[in-house]
Chain A
Amino acid sequence: EAEVAQSPRYKITEKSQAVAFWCDPISGHATLYWYRQILGQGPELLVQFQDESVVDDSQLPKDRFSAERLKGVDSTLKIQPAELGDSAMYLCASSLVPGLSSYNEQFFGPGTRLTVL
């Protein structure tokens, strides 16, 4: 069964360092999502791509976070510089098309657990 791949699974970094997370969506999925899940909370959408274009980054802290999906396939989320409050699980998801419907489902990867010291 096709899955969303993410790496690394765990990342420990020091405050003010740069970190990057990688996501490979299910083949053929045009829409890719990055979520942040703080411990004890539900996931929150950071950015949504349709192919290589950003369609929603309203919750992305743009002063330190950036995301790209250059060829419309895999994607990288970067944080520079990392802050203590960035410690969280970063989840990537993909879907065949954008939007929510009875036939369109978001499939989630296993996530990257980030700890900032």
Chain B
Amino acid sequence: AQSVTQPDIHITVSEGASLELRCNYSYGATPYLFWYVQSPGQGLQLLLKYFSGDTLVQGIKGFEAEFKRSQSSFNLRKPSVHWSDAAEYFCAVGAGNTGFQKLVFGTGTRLLVSP
């Protein structure tokens, strides 16, 4: 079954520093991969998604992610973190039959931004 692992429960980054959040997936074929962000008390917002093609995907808010099939990874990056980026980040993989796939989420990584 498709699954996603986010090995870091918490990460603290200084404001202005670079960020990388790790995501590893388990899937037999080419996966559909997603990164979502959830601010406190809010729903999820899609940052970016990968379906095929260029393995470096650009998203909103200055985020990007790179699909690496050899490492089964889809890590999220940002060159310079802002205090407003403090939130919980979820990686997800698409699972199921064509036309009715569902999202399978990882357990999330909470990002703390220090001054």
Contact = CB atoms under 8 A, between A and B. Distances in A.
A binds B: yes
Interface of A: 4, 33, 40-45, 48, 55-56, 91, 93, 98-102, 105-106, 108-111, 113
Given A44-B105, A45-B102, A100-B103, A108 B45 contact: yes
Contacts, number: 60
Contacts of B42: 110-111
A65 to B, nearest CB: 17
B41 A99 contact: no
Contacts of B51: 100-102
B57 to A, nearest CB: 11
B98 A106 contact: no
Contacts of A106: 46, 103
B27 interface: no
Contact of B100 (A99, A105, A108, A111): A99
Counting from the closest, the 9 A-B pairs by CB-CB distance are: A42-B105, A108-B43, A100-B94, A108-B44, A100-B101, A99-B99, A102-B51, A110-B43, A45-B102
Interface of B: 4, 32, 36, 41-46, 49, 51, 90, 92, 94, 96, 98-103, 105-108
Contacts of A41: 107-108
A99 B44 contact: no
Contacts of B103: 43, 45, 100, 106
B31 to A, nearest CB: 10
A99 B46 contact: no
User: Most chain-A CB neighbours within 10 Å: which of B4, B32, B98, B102?
Assistant: B102
18 contacts: A4-B43, A42-B106, A43-B90, A48-B100, A56-B96, A91-B43, A93-B44, A98-B99, A100-B32, A100-B94, A101-B51, A108-B36, A108-B44, A108-B45, A110-B43, A111-B41, A111-B42, A111-B43
